[in-house]
Chain A
Amino acid sequence: MMKGGFEVVHATLDMIQPHHEPLWDNFASSVAFPTSVNSVPRQTVENRCVNLERNELSEWVEQVTKQLIDDLPPEPETRPDHSSSLQDADTSTMVCDDSFGAPLLPAGDFSRPRKIRRSVLDCGAGEELQWSNNELGNVNNVSENKLNRLDEQGLSLITLLLECAVAISVDNLGEAHRMLLELTQMASPYAASCAERVVAYFAKAMSSRVINSWLGICSPLINYKTVHCAFQAFNNVSPFIKFAHFTSNQAILEAFHRRDRVHIIDLDIMQGLQWPALFHILATRIEGAPHVRMTGMGSSMELLVETGKQLSNFAKRLGMSFEFHPIAKKFGEIDISMIQLRRGETLAVHWLQHSLYDATGPDWKTLRLFEQLGPRVITLVEQDLSHGGVFLDRFVGSLHYYSTMFDSLGAYLLADDPNRHRIEHCLLYREINNILAIGGPARSGEDKFKHWRSELSRSNCFVQLPMSSNSMAQAQLILNMFPPAHGYSLVQGDGTLRLGWKDTSLFTASAWTSSHAFR
């Protein structure tokens, strides 16, 4: 019976044609997910990492970065160094930990950036951790082989890029500017090689940063329409956003079990693409549709009102009672009094994190507001990338991250595909630009948390809710929609779902509940 149910769902998924449908009309027939608890047979859920090659470009980056850093004059150690290399074979817990405490040497010396160890995976106590780790022990051997295969042009570009990043990190802007003049002439974003495309965008982002440094300004100017448009294009060719939507929706659905008054706060609702699917399920629940309130937050009231209208119309068509409250502010900049809370309502807070712009404002205030609200569930989808820390840390982390992202697009889309260009230029480049900007993606001089999952687990107010097997099933279904099937990797570990490309995790989905949830 379950099998039949699975097939039906699958068939429904097939009806979603990414490219041409107007945004909203299609959702009436969109995904319905299984509400029964029996999960899909285990074997479809298991890790797909079995046949993975290590991502060539990011492996390279590791190798060359290591070289570059190791070649610098030694820095006095301030804490026991329990790993001097990138070769932690056993658990691969290479933590990008900023708590070393040693400040960078004063500008007069040749400041050496801290030894950087990158987080491949924060793994906890085992569970179904199935990243293929055995290759890490052979990093050197494997890298050498891969290095030979990668072309010389790409190699010299990346090396120059890294040198430039080091120059920026020690504030040698004149030298950086000169190198960037070269780089921005040598690398093309339309190249066949993903490495070259990545270099083109990273170089451009660093040029922007150099100019902003000189101007002494770090705030951004954002064209939201272009960004949202690119976001949509990305959603069509890549599974990450749907992964975020559907796994979160599942967790929210479960939190709303048998509740008839519900309130969802979406910290960055954009066009609200996520919600129709959830509404559809809620409206057709056995126990009947709940009354749904939604608080949508975003950058422009105009856009929010439009989104609210669309969602209201949709809810009306489903016969579900619905209210929408737009708040054109950042979550970390509002007071709890701005959010209408009603007795007897079950509260869900949802956040799909990205680096396109600072959606939430000061992180510590955001955390505090979470605590004050005490929601029944917080669904958090995070980029598996640290947004905080010093420039060089962010540079290395994001180079690895975005190389992987570019690789994932390049595996399926042609070099001259205008859609691919739009995604890379209007979306990924924008993120790269923000992450490398002065002060990082907050663009305000405020530092950002590295990983929200760590913050939430550290907080006494929250307890992690492991993502259910249904969520995993949802994620698996999404993956089935996106070729190439064996490039994307889905892993469940530590209660968290991770979606990545080859063996690099790119997004994590987790759910949290207030320790004393009273809503």
Chain B
Amino acid sequence: MHNTTNHHHLNHQQQQQQQQTQNSHTSTSRSSDSGAGEPCATGNKWASRLLRECARAISDKDSSKIHHLLWMLNELASPYGDCDQKLASYFLKALFCKATESGQRCYKTLTSVAEKSHSFDSARKLILKFQEVSPWTTFGHVAANGALLEALDGEPKLHIIDISNTLCTQWPTLLEALATRNDDTPHLKLTVVVTANIVRSVMKEISQRMEKFARLMGVPFEFNVISGLNRLGELTKEALGVVEDEAVAINCIGALGRLAVEERGGVIQMFQSLGPKVVTVVEEEADFSSTPYDFVRCFEECLRFYTLYFEMLDESFAPTSNEKLMLERECSRSIVRVLACDEELEDYSTSGGECERRERGSQWSDRLKEVFSPIGFSDDVVDDVKALLKRYRAGWALAQPHQDETGLYLTWKEEAVVWASAWKP
């Protein structure tokens, strides 16, 4: 299989050029009279065009243009319409917050409302439904589990440190594999580190269920939750309770991306100090961190990624799905965070919540290579992933890296969207 990452960059540039030449709308008409007053409203990808123009106008501080574009977006946007309308709506919210310097407050309000309205049932329902219609999260789970099982084979005492917010949906399959693979079922200690408040409140239920499941599987099991952290960066070696004779594995699903940028190196070092046998890292393939001060570039990358995500959601769920709506709202919070909260870049300790500054697989690789070496995924694991993808609708594929790249990519319509990798000391 060919590597799509480079291919993807080229595509993106070509697309940009195409759009610029096609971009004929300059509607300055504010009247509702002529049918020609809204050329952008009927074409394809109007939201992307308008949003990018608006970002540029903000960067250029062109006040009247900003106003005009925000007005158009406001009129055309809707969080309940088609993909363009949704993107317009959520990005408009972020742009409005940026223009009124209310990003931080907005983010706080949005997250606290979301936390209040989630329950164990709704959170569980949401993630299970998402996993049913899309391999977005299950891809990482299957790849990571495969690497974990292979690296920990033969070890009698396992300690898996799970840093994720996927509500332990990864572990039942692993527990099953441990129970059935050979005669000596190892002892598994699972330490789950959660930071999202939404997840915190449901961990009690989850731990009960996990313990019950492990008993059913006949796997000697210990379950710990570390949930007192304000931010992931506060995580210490001591808090994790690693013991001498354990084989340690560290599983990070979307975790590194939630660390404050300046803390990432330190945390990776801390992982090394735990002496793990294997570290699995799964991250969404987007770069919101390398150009934080270049608003337009950051904006365009954000738009690129979320356009993919929203389109994926649209094609995976039914049109009137409440689960889809909740996932979209989650994105809305992230978008506000990335685009309208940049004034908090320096002072992470007070801003609370989670960072949304994602990095691409290649960037993570560079960081991880400083203390770890990559493990390739075995053919068996790759086959497992392929089998997984077959269970979903068309559009999903697997991309394997070229020579100097590591990990596996999940692709949606040939765009890399999720990166999974495994490392050893």
Binding site for B on A (CB under 8 A): 177-178, 181-182, 184-186, 188-191, 200-201, 204, 208, 211-212, 214-217, 219-225, 299-303, 328-330, 357-358, 415-418, 421, 425-426, 429, 443
Cβ–Cβ < 8 Å partners of A418 in chain B: 319-320
Tell me whether A299 and B33 are in contact in the complex, defined as CB-CB below 8 angstroms, given that A185-B113, A185-B114 are known contacts.
Answer: yes
Cβ–Cβ < 8 Å partners of A358 in chain B: 32
- Pick the residue among A178, A302, A330 that contacts B35 (CB under 8 A): A302
Instruction: State the Cβ distance, B33 to closest chain A Cβ, in Å.
Output: 6
Cβ–Cβ < 8 Å partners of A215 in chain B: 67, 70-71, 74
Q: Give the one of B31, B37, B72 with max A CB within 10 A.
A: B37
**A186 near B41: Cβ-Cβ < 8 Å:** no
CA distance A186 to B114 in the complex (A): 8
Instruction: State the Cβ distance, A415 to closest chain B Cβ, in Å.
Output: 7
B173 within 8 A of A: no
**A299 near B81: Cβ-Cβ < 8 Å:** no
Tell me whether A211 and B35 are in contact in the complex, defined as CB-CB below 8 angstroms, given that A178-B109, A182-B109, A223-B41 are known contacts.
Answer: no
Can you sample 23 A-B contacts with CB below 8 Å? A178-B109, A181-B109, A181-B110, A185-B329, A190-B320, A200-B80, A204-B79, A204-B80, A208-B74, A211-B74, A211-B92, A212-B71, A215-B67, A222-B38, A223-B76, A299-B33, A300-B34, A303-B35, A328-B33, A415-B320, A416-B320, A418-B320, A443-B32
Further 10 A-B residue pairs, CB within 8 A, beyond A211-B96, A221-B72, A328-B34:
A185-B114, A185-B329, A190-B320, A190-B321, A190-B325, A204-B80, A219-B71, A220-B75, A224-B35, A418-B319
**B318 near A416: Cβ-Cβ < 8 Å:** yes
User: Which residue of chain B is the closest to A357 with respect to CB atoms?
Assistant: B32
CA distance A300 to B38 in the complex (A): 11
Instruction: State the Cβ distance, B41 to closest chain A Cβ, in Å.
Output: 4
Instruction: State the Cβ distance, A192 to closest chain B Cβ, in Å.
Output: 10
- Pick the residue among B41, B79, B110 that contacts A221 (CB under 8 A): B41
User: Which residue of chain A is the closest to B100 with respect to CB atoms?
Assistant: A214
User: Which residue of chain A is the closest to B40 with respect to CB atoms?
Assistant: A221
CA distance A417 to B320 in the complex (A): 8
Instruction: State the Cβ distance, A420 to closest chain B Cβ, in Å.
Output: 8
**A223 near B38: Cβ-Cβ < 8 Å:** yes
Cβ–Cβ < 8 Å partners of A220 in chain B: 32, 75
Instruction: State the Cβ distance, A427 to closest chain B Cβ, in Å.
Output: 13
Tell me whether A211 and B70 are in contact in the complex, defined as CB-CB below 8 angstroms, given that A190-B321, A416-B320 are known contacts.
Answer: yes
A-B contact count (CB 8 A): 104
Instruction: State the Cβ distance, A425 to closest chain B Cβ, in Å.
Output: 5
Tell me whether A217 and B71 are in contact in the complex, defined as CB-CB below 8 angstroms, given that A329-B33, A443-B32 are known contacts.
Answer: yes
Cβ–Cβ < 8 Å partners of A225 in chain B: 42
Sorted from nearest, which 8 A-B pairs have the closest CB atoms? A300-B35, A221-B75, A190-B320, A223-B41, A416-B320, A219-B30, A185-B113, A181-B109
**A185 near B110: Cβ-Cβ < 8 Å:** yes
CA distance A178 to B108 in the complex (A): 11
CA distance A224 to B36 in the complex (A): 10
Binding site for A on B (CB under 8 A): 30-38, 41-42, 67, 70-72, 74-76, 78-81, 92, 96, 100, 102, 105-106, 109-110, 113-114, 117, 318-322, 325, 329
Instruction: State the Cβ distance, A285 to closest chain B Cβ, in Å.
Output: 36
CA distance A443 to B164 in the complex (A): 49
CA distance A33 to B311 in the complex (A): 49
- Pick the residue among B36, B38, B102, B320 that contacts A421 (CB under 8 A): B320
Interface of B is mostly: helix
- Pick the residue among A181, A303, A330 that contacts B106 (CB under 8 A): A181
CA distance A302 to B100 in the complex (A): 40
CA distance A507 to B102 in the complex (A): 42
CA distance A497 to B42 in the complex (A): 38
Instruction: State the Cβ distance, A151 to closest chain B Cβ, in Å.
Output: 14
Cβ–Cβ < 8 Å partners of B31 in chain A: 219
CA distance A443 to B320 in the complex (A): 30
CA distance A181 to B102 in the complex (A): 12
CA distance A473 to B225 in the complex (A): 71
- Pick the residue among A186, A217, A219, A328 that contacts B67 (CB under 8 A): A217
Cβ–Cβ < 8 Å partners of A186 in chain B: 113, 117
- Pick the residue among A177, A204, A208, A219 that contacts B32 (CB under 8 A): A219
**B42 near A223: Cβ-Cβ < 8 Å:** yes
**A221 near B67: Cβ-Cβ < 8 Å:** no
Cβ–Cβ < 8 Å partners of A214 in chain B: 96, 100
Cβ–Cβ < 8 Å partners of A221 in chain B: 32, 37-38, 41, 71-72, 75-76
- Pick the residue among B35, B74, B81, B92 that contacts A425 (CB under 8 A): B81
CA distance A191 to B72 in the complex (A): 29
Instruction: State the Cβ distance, A343 to closest chain B Cβ, in Å.
Output: 32
User: Which residue of chain B is the closest to A224 with respect to CB atoms?
Assistant: B35
Instruction: State the Cβ distance, A445 to closest chain B Cβ, in Å.
Output: 12
Cβ–Cβ < 8 Å partners of A328 in chain B: 33-34
**A425 near B78: Cβ-Cβ < 8 Å:** yes
Instruction: State the Cβ distance, B91 to closest chain A Cβ, in Å.
Output: 13
**B322 near A191: Cβ-Cβ < 8 Å:** yes
CA distance A90 to B329 in the complex (A): 49
User: Which residue of chain B is the closest to A425 with respect to CB atoms?
Assistant: B80
CA distance A416 to B320 in the complex (A): 6
Instruction: State the Cβ distance, A212 to closest chain B Cβ, in Å.
Output: 6
Tell me whether A189 and B117 are in contact in the complex, defined as CB-CB below 8 angstroms, given that A181-B109, A300-B34, A418-B320 are known contacts.
Answer: no
Cβ–Cβ < 8 Å partners of A188 in chain B: 322, 325
Cβ–Cβ < 8 Å partners of B36 in chain A: 300
**B319 near A421: Cβ-Cβ < 8 Å:** yes
**B110 near A212: Cβ-Cβ < 8 Å:** no
**A212 near B74: Cβ-Cβ < 8 Å:** yes
User: Which residue of chain B is the closest to A180 with respect to CB atoms?
Assistant: B109
CA distance A222 to B34 in the complex (A): 10
Q: Give the one of B75, B78, B106 with max A CB within 10 A.
A: B75
User: Which residue of chain B is the closest to A183 with respect to CB atoms?
Assistant: B113
Instruction: State the Cβ distance, A272 to closest chain B Cβ, in Å.
Output: 16
CA distance A178 to B110 in the complex (A): 9
User: Which residue of chain B is the closest to A437 with respect to CB atoms?
Assistant: B75
